[in-house]
Amino acid sequence: MKPYNVPFGDLVRQYRAQQAELDAAALRVLHSGWYILGPEVRAFEDEWAKYCGVHHCVSVGNGTEALHLALRVLGLQPGDEVITVANAGGYGAIAAVQAGLKPRFADVDDETHTMSPASLAAAITPRTKAILPVHLYGRPAPIREIMAIAEQHGLPVIEDCAQSHGAMVAGRMTGTFGQLGTFSFYPTKNLGALGDAGAIITDDDALADKLRKLRVYGWDRKYHNAEPGGINTRLDELQAALLGCKLPLLNQWNELRRERARWYHELLRDVPGISLPDITDGHVFHLFVIQVHGGRRDALKQALTEQGIGTDVHYPLPTHLQPAFHDLGYEPGELPVTERLAESVLSLPCYPELTREEVAAVCAAMRSAQA
Protein backbone atom coordinates (compact mmCIF):
# COMPACT_ATOMS: atom_id res chain seq x y z
CA MET A 1 0.00 0.00 0.00
CA LYS A 2 1.45 3.36 -1.05
CA PRO A 3 1.36 6.01 1.70
CA TYR A 4 -0.01 8.75 -0.59
CA ASN A 5 -2.17 9.10 -3.69
CA VAL A 6 -1.48 12.37 -5.48
CA PRO A 7 -1.99 12.16 -9.26
CA PHE A 8 0.21 14.28 -11.53
CA GLY A 9 -2.98 15.55 -13.13
CA ASP A 10 -6.71 14.94 -12.72
CA LEU A 11 -8.93 16.46 -15.39
CA VAL A 12 -12.11 14.99 -13.93
CA ARG A 13 -11.87 17.38 -10.97
CA GLN A 14 -12.12 20.40 -13.25
CA TYR A 15 -14.93 18.87 -15.28
CA ARG A 16 -16.97 18.00 -12.17
CA ALA A 17 -16.58 21.50 -10.74
CA GLN A 18 -18.21 22.95 -13.86
CA GLN A 19 -20.24 19.96 -14.96
CA ALA A 20 -23.69 21.55 -15.28
CA GLU A 21 -22.39 24.40 -17.42
CA LEU A 22 -20.18 22.21 -19.63
CA ASP A 23 -22.92 19.63 -20.14
CA ALA A 24 -25.37 22.38 -21.11
CA ALA A 25 -22.89 23.88 -23.60
CA ALA A 26 -22.21 20.47 -25.15
CA LEU A 27 -25.93 19.74 -25.47
CA ARG A 28 -26.54 23.17 -26.99
CA VAL A 29 -24.06 22.32 -29.75
CA LEU A 30 -25.34 18.77 -30.24
CA HIS A 31 -28.87 20.08 -30.72
CA SER A 32 -27.83 22.98 -32.95
CA GLY A 33 -27.05 20.86 -36.00
CA TRP A 34 -24.00 23.07 -36.77
CA TYR A 35 -20.69 21.47 -35.81
CA ILE A 36 -17.84 23.17 -37.73
CA LEU A 37 -16.95 26.90 -38.07
CA GLY A 38 -20.19 28.32 -36.72
CA PRO A 39 -21.35 30.77 -34.06
CA GLU A 40 -19.57 29.05 -31.14
CA VAL A 41 -16.20 29.25 -32.92
CA ARG A 42 -16.75 32.90 -33.85
CA ALA A 43 -17.76 33.76 -30.28
CA PHE A 44 -14.74 32.02 -28.76
CA GLU A 45 -12.36 33.63 -31.27
CA ASP A 46 -13.73 37.05 -30.36
CA GLU A 47 -13.42 36.35 -26.63
CA TRP A 48 -9.90 34.96 -26.89
CA ALA A 49 -8.73 37.92 -29.02
CA LYS A 50 -10.26 40.29 -26.45
CA TYR A 51 -8.68 38.43 -23.53
CA CYS A 52 -5.26 38.58 -25.19
CA GLY A 53 -5.71 42.19 -26.28
CA VAL A 54 -5.29 41.66 -30.04
CA HIS A 55 -7.44 42.26 -33.12
CA HIS A 56 -7.58 38.70 -34.41
CA CYS A 57 -7.82 35.12 -33.21
CA VAL A 58 -7.91 32.37 -35.83
CA SER A 59 -8.78 29.05 -34.23
CA VAL A 60 -7.35 25.79 -35.57
CA GLY A 61 -7.36 22.09 -34.74
CA ASN A 62 -4.44 21.99 -32.26
CA GLY A 63 -1.29 23.79 -31.13
CA THR A 64 1.04 22.07 -33.59
CA GLU A 65 -1.15 23.14 -36.53
CA ALA A 66 -1.21 26.65 -35.07
CA LEU A 67 2.60 26.68 -35.25
CA HIS A 68 2.56 25.12 -38.71
CA LEU A 69 0.17 27.72 -40.17
CA ALA A 70 1.90 30.59 -38.35
CA LEU A 71 5.16 29.57 -40.01
CA ARG A 72 3.47 29.05 -43.36
CA VAL A 73 1.62 32.34 -43.45
CA LEU A 74 4.93 34.24 -43.29
CA GLY A 75 5.64 33.19 -46.89
CA LEU A 76 9.08 31.71 -46.20
CA GLN A 77 10.96 29.70 -48.81
CA PRO A 78 11.65 25.95 -48.59
CA GLY A 79 14.81 25.35 -46.57
CA ASP A 80 14.69 28.72 -44.79
CA GLU A 81 15.77 28.40 -41.16
CA VAL A 82 13.77 28.98 -38.01
CA ILE A 83 15.49 29.32 -34.65
CA THR A 84 13.67 27.78 -31.71
CA VAL A 85 14.62 25.94 -28.49
CA ALA A 86 15.27 22.23 -27.98
CA ASN A 87 13.85 21.81 -24.44
CA ALA A 88 10.16 22.35 -25.18
CA GLY A 89 8.86 19.08 -26.57
CA GLY A 90 9.85 19.62 -30.20
CA TYR A 91 6.48 20.94 -31.41
CA GLY A 92 8.01 24.01 -33.11
CA ALA A 93 10.60 21.87 -34.87
CA ILE A 94 7.89 19.46 -36.06
CA ALA A 95 5.84 22.38 -37.39
CA ALA A 96 8.89 23.88 -39.12
CA VAL A 97 9.61 20.62 -40.92
CA GLN A 98 5.92 20.36 -41.85
CA ALA A 99 6.14 23.86 -43.35
CA GLY A 100 9.23 22.89 -45.40
CA LEU A 101 11.59 24.87 -43.16
CA LYS A 102 14.74 23.88 -41.28
CA PRO A 103 14.75 24.11 -37.48
CA ARG A 104 17.87 25.41 -35.75
CA PHE A 105 18.25 25.69 -32.00
CA ALA A 106 19.40 28.33 -29.56
CA ASP A 107 20.37 27.22 -26.06
CA VAL A 108 18.23 28.18 -23.08
CA ASP A 109 18.94 30.16 -19.95
CA ASP A 110 19.86 28.09 -16.90
CA GLU A 111 17.51 29.98 -14.63
CA THR A 112 14.43 30.65 -16.79
CA HIS A 113 14.67 27.52 -18.99
CA THR A 114 13.59 29.74 -21.90
CA MET A 115 15.47 30.97 -25.00
CA SER A 116 18.76 32.65 -24.13
CA PRO A 117 18.96 36.00 -25.99
CA ALA A 118 22.77 35.68 -26.18
CA SER A 119 22.54 32.20 -27.68
CA LEU A 120 19.86 33.39 -30.11
CA ALA A 121 22.03 36.30 -31.28
CA ALA A 122 24.94 33.90 -31.83
CA ALA A 123 22.78 31.41 -33.78
CA ILE A 124 21.43 33.90 -36.35
CA THR A 125 22.88 33.47 -39.86
CA PRO A 126 21.86 34.85 -43.27
CA ARG A 127 19.68 31.73 -43.66
CA THR A 128 17.64 32.53 -40.53
CA LYS A 129 14.18 33.76 -41.52
CA ALA A 130 12.12 33.50 -38.31
CA ILE A 131 12.45 33.14 -34.55
CA LEU A 132 10.20 30.90 -32.47
CA PRO A 133 10.62 31.27 -28.69
CA VAL A 134 8.52 29.23 -26.25
CA HIS A 135 7.03 30.61 -23.03
CA LEU A 136 7.77 27.38 -21.23
CA TYR A 137 6.06 25.98 -18.11
CA GLY A 138 3.97 29.18 -17.89
CA ARG A 139 7.03 31.41 -17.51
CA PRO A 140 7.41 34.15 -20.10
CA ALA A 141 10.60 34.01 -22.16
CA PRO A 142 12.64 37.27 -22.21
CA ILE A 143 10.47 38.41 -25.08
CA ARG A 144 11.48 42.09 -25.09
CA GLU A 145 15.15 41.16 -25.48
CA ILE A 146 14.25 38.60 -28.15
CA MET A 147 12.14 41.18 -30.03
CA ALA A 148 15.02 43.67 -29.92
CA ILE A 149 17.36 41.10 -31.54
CA ALA A 150 14.68 40.14 -34.08
CA GLU A 151 14.09 43.77 -35.03
CA GLN A 152 17.81 44.36 -35.41
CA HIS A 153 17.91 41.54 -37.97
CA GLY A 154 14.49 42.23 -39.55
CA LEU A 155 13.17 38.79 -38.53
CA PRO A 156 9.56 37.88 -37.66
CA VAL A 157 8.82 36.29 -34.29
CA ILE A 158 6.21 33.64 -33.54
CA GLU A 159 5.60 33.15 -29.81
CA ASP A 160 4.64 29.61 -28.78
CA CYS A 161 2.17 30.22 -25.94
CA ALA A 162 0.91 26.64 -25.61
CA GLN A 163 2.00 26.71 -21.96
CA SER A 164 1.43 30.39 -21.19
CA HIS A 165 -2.29 31.24 -21.36
CA GLY A 166 -2.66 34.50 -19.46
CA ALA A 167 1.07 34.89 -18.74
CA MET A 168 2.18 38.51 -18.96
CA VAL A 169 5.28 40.61 -19.44
CA ALA A 170 5.04 44.18 -18.15
CA GLY A 171 1.23 44.04 -18.21
CA ARG A 172 1.04 42.68 -21.73
CA MET A 173 -0.01 39.14 -22.67
CA THR A 174 2.51 36.69 -24.06
CA GLY A 175 1.71 36.11 -27.71
CA THR A 176 1.22 39.81 -28.46
CA PHE A 177 4.87 40.86 -28.83
CA GLY A 178 5.72 38.93 -31.99
CA GLN A 179 3.92 39.05 -35.34
CA LEU A 180 1.98 35.93 -34.30
CA GLY A 181 1.25 34.03 -31.09
CA THR A 182 0.13 30.40 -31.08
CA PHE A 183 -1.85 28.45 -28.50
CA SER A 184 -2.73 24.85 -27.78
CA PHE A 185 -5.88 24.17 -25.78
CA TYR A 186 -4.93 20.53 -25.18
CA PRO A 187 -6.95 19.33 -22.15
CA THR A 188 -4.12 19.71 -19.61
CA LYS A 189 -3.26 23.30 -20.58
CA ASN A 190 -4.09 26.27 -18.34
CA LEU A 191 -7.08 26.77 -20.64
CA GLY A 192 -7.91 23.29 -21.88
CA ALA A 193 -10.59 21.96 -24.21
CA LEU A 194 -12.08 18.47 -23.83
CA GLY A 195 -10.29 17.35 -26.96
CA ASP A 196 -7.78 18.90 -29.37
CA ALA A 197 -7.92 22.65 -30.03
CA GLY A 198 -5.59 25.51 -30.92
CA ALA A 199 -5.44 29.13 -32.08
CA ILE A 200 -3.24 31.82 -33.59
CA ILE A 201 -3.45 35.45 -32.52
CA THR A 202 -2.22 38.52 -34.41
CA ASP A 203 -2.81 42.22 -34.87
CA ASP A 204 -2.00 41.97 -38.56
CA ASP A 205 -5.17 42.06 -40.68
CA ALA A 206 -3.52 40.57 -43.78
CA LEU A 207 -1.96 37.66 -41.88
CA ALA A 208 -5.27 36.91 -40.13
CA ASP A 209 -7.13 36.96 -43.44
CA LYS A 210 -4.63 34.56 -45.00
CA LEU A 211 -4.72 32.25 -41.94
CA ARG A 212 -8.52 32.05 -42.17
CA LYS A 213 -8.12 30.76 -45.71
CA LEU A 214 -5.20 28.43 -44.99
CA ARG A 215 -7.09 26.58 -42.25
CA VAL A 216 -9.91 25.64 -44.61
CA TYR A 217 -8.41 24.34 -47.88
CA GLY A 218 -7.23 27.79 -48.94
CA TRP A 219 -10.87 28.76 -49.60
CA ASP A 220 -11.84 32.42 -49.77
CA ARG A 221 -15.38 31.22 -50.38
CA LYS A 222 -16.97 27.82 -50.60
CA TYR A 223 -15.25 25.50 -53.10
CA HIS A 224 -12.89 28.25 -54.27
CA ASN A 225 -9.19 27.58 -53.55
CA ALA A 226 -7.74 31.07 -53.50
CA GLU A 227 -4.74 30.60 -51.21
CA PRO A 228 -1.99 28.10 -52.13
CA GLY A 229 -0.98 25.66 -49.39
CA GLY A 230 -4.36 25.46 -47.68
CA ILE A 231 -5.03 22.52 -45.37
CA ASN A 232 -7.87 21.44 -43.10
CA THR A 233 -7.35 22.36 -39.46
CA ARG A 234 -10.46 23.69 -37.76
CA LEU A 235 -11.66 24.10 -34.22
CA ASP A 236 -15.05 22.45 -33.88
CA GLU A 237 -18.15 24.01 -32.38
CA LEU A 238 -18.20 21.63 -29.43
CA GLN A 239 -14.67 22.50 -28.27
CA ALA A 240 -15.27 26.21 -28.88
CA ALA A 241 -18.40 26.13 -26.70
CA LEU A 242 -16.57 24.29 -23.91
CA LEU A 243 -13.61 26.69 -24.09
CA GLY A 244 -16.06 29.59 -23.92
CA CYS A 245 -17.40 28.20 -20.62
CA LYS A 246 -13.93 27.84 -19.18
CA LEU A 247 -12.37 31.13 -20.27
CA PRO A 248 -14.02 33.26 -17.53
CA LEU A 249 -12.25 31.06 -14.95
CA LEU A 250 -8.76 31.24 -16.47
CA ASN A 251 -7.45 34.13 -14.35
CA GLN A 252 -8.75 32.52 -11.18
CA TRP A 253 -7.18 29.18 -12.13
CA ASN A 254 -3.85 30.87 -12.90
CA GLU A 255 -3.95 32.52 -9.47
CA LEU A 256 -4.60 29.11 -7.86
CA ARG A 257 -1.61 27.67 -9.74
CA ARG A 258 0.56 30.50 -8.39
CA GLU A 259 -0.73 29.80 -4.90
CA ARG A 260 0.29 26.14 -5.22
CA ALA A 261 3.74 27.30 -6.33
CA ARG A 262 3.96 29.44 -3.18
CA TRP A 263 2.97 26.42 -1.05
CA TYR A 264 5.77 24.38 -2.61
CA HIS A 265 8.22 27.18 -1.83
CA GLU A 266 7.03 27.33 1.75
CA LEU A 267 7.26 23.55 2.29
CA LEU A 268 10.33 22.66 0.23
CA ARG A 269 12.55 25.63 1.05
CA ASP A 270 15.11 23.68 3.07
CA VAL A 271 15.06 20.35 1.21
CA PRO A 272 18.62 19.62 0.05
CA GLY A 273 19.70 18.78 -3.49
CA ILE A 274 16.91 20.56 -5.38
CA SER A 275 16.22 24.05 -6.68
CA LEU A 276 12.78 25.55 -7.10
CA PRO A 277 11.49 27.79 -9.92
CA ASP A 278 11.25 31.50 -9.05
CA ILE A 279 7.74 32.87 -8.64
CA THR A 280 8.21 35.76 -11.04
CA ASP A 281 5.59 38.30 -12.11
CA GLY A 282 3.47 37.04 -14.96
CA HIS A 283 4.38 33.34 -14.45
CA VAL A 284 1.23 31.17 -14.64
CA PHE A 285 2.78 27.84 -13.58
CA HIS A 286 1.46 25.56 -16.27
CA LEU A 287 4.03 23.24 -14.71
CA PHE A 288 5.97 23.43 -11.45
CA VAL A 289 9.40 22.27 -12.57
CA ILE A 290 12.20 21.77 -10.06
CA GLN A 291 15.81 20.84 -10.70
CA VAL A 292 17.25 17.81 -8.93
CA HIS A 293 21.01 17.99 -8.49
CA GLY A 294 23.72 15.35 -8.17
CA GLY A 295 22.32 13.08 -10.89
CA ARG A 296 19.49 12.04 -8.57
CA ARG A 297 16.48 13.03 -10.70
CA ASP A 298 15.48 9.55 -11.82
CA ALA A 299 16.05 8.08 -8.35
CA LEU A 300 13.88 10.78 -6.78
CA LYS A 301 11.17 10.29 -9.40
CA GLN A 302 11.19 6.57 -8.68
CA ALA A 303 11.05 7.11 -4.90
CA LEU A 304 8.08 9.47 -5.34
CA THR A 305 6.28 6.96 -7.58
CA GLU A 306 6.75 4.31 -4.88
CA GLN A 307 5.12 6.65 -2.38
CA GLY A 308 2.13 7.33 -4.65
CA ILE A 309 3.19 10.76 -5.94
CA GLY A 310 2.76 11.36 -9.68
CA THR A 311 5.51 13.33 -11.42
CA ASP A 312 6.68 13.81 -15.01
CA VAL A 313 9.75 14.98 -16.93
CA HIS A 314 9.35 17.86 -19.41
CA TYR A 315 11.27 16.78 -21.43
CA PRO A 316 13.70 13.85 -21.11
CA LEU A 317 15.44 13.98 -24.54
CA PRO A 318 16.13 17.39 -26.12
CA THR A 319 14.77 17.90 -29.62
CA HIS A 320 18.18 18.26 -31.31
CA LEU A 321 19.11 14.75 -30.08
CA GLN A 322 15.81 13.07 -31.03
CA PRO A 323 16.15 10.37 -33.72
CA ALA A 324 13.69 12.12 -36.05
CA PHE A 325 15.95 15.21 -36.13
CA HIS A 326 19.21 13.33 -36.62
CA ASP A 327 19.57 14.79 -40.13
CA LEU A 328 19.88 18.30 -38.72
CA GLY A 329 23.41 17.25 -37.75
CA TYR A 330 23.49 18.18 -34.05
CA GLU A 331 25.81 16.31 -31.67
CA PRO A 332 25.57 15.92 -27.89
CA GLY A 333 27.28 18.85 -26.16
CA GLU A 334 26.15 21.52 -28.64
CA LEU A 335 23.41 22.88 -26.36
CA PRO A 336 24.95 22.38 -22.92
CA VAL A 337 22.29 24.06 -20.76
CA THR A 338 19.43 22.35 -22.60
CA GLU A 339 21.15 18.98 -22.22
CA ARG A 340 21.92 19.49 -18.54
CA LEU A 341 18.34 20.52 -17.80
CA ALA A 342 16.97 17.44 -19.60
CA GLU A 343 18.76 15.33 -16.99
CA SER A 344 17.75 17.35 -13.94
CA VAL A 345 14.20 18.70 -14.43
CA LEU A 346 11.27 17.14 -12.60
CA SER A 347 7.66 18.35 -12.78
CA LEU A 348 5.61 18.12 -9.58
CA PRO A 349 1.79 18.09 -9.53
CA CYS A 350 0.50 21.66 -10.03
CA TYR A 351 -3.12 22.34 -10.98
CA PRO A 352 -5.86 24.56 -9.61
CA GLU A 353 -7.76 21.69 -7.94
CA LEU A 354 -4.71 20.31 -6.10
CA THR A 355 -5.35 20.62 -2.36
CA ARG A 356 -3.05 21.95 0.35
CA GLU A 357 -3.00 18.43 1.87
CA GLU A 358 -1.85 16.97 -1.44
CA VAL A 359 0.93 19.54 -1.80
CA ALA A 360 1.96 18.74 1.79
CA ALA A 361 1.99 15.02 0.88
CA VAL A 362 4.23 15.67 -2.16
CA CYS A 363 6.59 17.68 0.05
CA ALA A 364 6.67 15.07 2.83
CA ALA A 365 7.48 12.38 0.28
CA MET A 366 10.20 14.59 -1.23
CA ARG A 367 11.66 15.25 2.19
CA SER A 368 11.90 11.57 3.07
CA ALA A 369 13.32 10.68 -0.37
CA GLN A 370 16.03 13.37 -0.14
CA ALA A 371 16.89 12.72 3.55
Ligand X SMILES: Cc1ncc(COP(=O)(O)O)c(C=O)c1O
**Buried b / exposed e across 348-365, counting CB within 10 Å, b at 16+?**
bbbbbbbeeebbebbbeb
From residue 52, alpha-carbon distances to 5, 137, 141, 162 in Å are: 37, 18, 17, 13
Q: Which stretch binds ligand X (CB under 6 A): 156-164, 253-261, 300-308, 329-337?
A: 156-164
* Residue from 73, 89, 309, 320 in contact with ligand X (CB under 6 A): 89
- Alpha carbon distance 33, 222 (integer Å): 19
Which range touches ligand X (CB under 6 A), out of 51-59, 101-109, 137-145, 155-163? 155-163
Q: Please, what is the minimum distance in Å from the beta carbon of residue 336 to ligand X? A: 21
Q: Is 311 in the site for ligand X (CB under 6 A)?
A: no
**Residue 16: how many other CB atoms lie within 10 Å:** 11
To ligand X, the closest distance from the beta carbon of 260 in angstroms equals 19
> For ligand X, which residue has the nearest CB?
63
Residue 365 beta carbon to ligand X: minimum distance, rounded to whole angstroms? 26
Report, in this order, helix, strand and coil percent for the chain, each rounded to 5. Answer: 45, 15, 40
Please give the size of the binding site for ligand X, defined by CB under 6 A: 14
Q: Pick the closest to residue 41 from 221, 215, 234 (CA basis).
A: 234
Q: ∠ at Cα 252 (246, 254), nearest 5°?
A: 95
C-beta atoms surrounding 314 within 10 Å: 19
DSSP per-residue letters across 107-162: -B-TTT-SB-HHHHHHH--TTEEEE--B-GGGPPP-HHHHHHHHHHHT--BEEE-T
Beta carbon nearer to ligand X, 63 or 349: 63
Q: What span, in angstroms and rounded, lies between the C-alpha atoms of 106 and 182?
A: 19
Interface with ligand X includes 236 (CB under 6 A)? no
Minimum CB distance to ligand X smaller for 105 or for 186 = 186
Query: Strands 81-85, 158-160: parallel, antiparallel or unpaired by DSSP?
Result: unpaired
Applying CB under 6 A, which part among 38-46, 157-165, 202-210, 318-326 lies near ligand X?
157-165
Candidates 49, 57, 74, 88; binder of ligand X (CB under 6 A) is 88
User: Looking at 91, 264, 285, 330, which residue binds ligand X (CB under 6 A)?
Assistant: 91
Of the pair 163, 202, the CB lying nearest ligand X is at: 163
CB of 55 to ligand X, least distance (A): 23
Under the binding rule (CB under 6 A), the answer on residue 143 touching ligand X is no
Residue 186 or 330 with smaller CB distance to ligand X = 186
Site string for ligand X, 117-136 (x = CB under 6 A): -----------------x--
Does 190 contact ligand X by CB under 6 A? no
Please say which residue, 342 or 365, places its beta carbon nearer to ligand X.
Answer: 342
Regarding 175 and contact with ligand X (CB under 6 A), the answer is no
70-99 as b/e, with b when 16 or more CB fall inside 10 Å? bbbbbebeeebbbbbbbbbbbbbbbbbbbb
Query: CB of 217: closest distance to ligand X in angstroms?
Result: 20
Distances (CA, A) of 329 to 4, 82, 89, 119, 334: 45, 15, 18, 18, 10
**Binders of ligand X in range 36-65 (CB under 6 A):** 62-64
State the residues that interact with ligand X by CB under 6 A.
62-64, 88-89, 91, 134, 160, 162-163, 184, 186, 196, 198
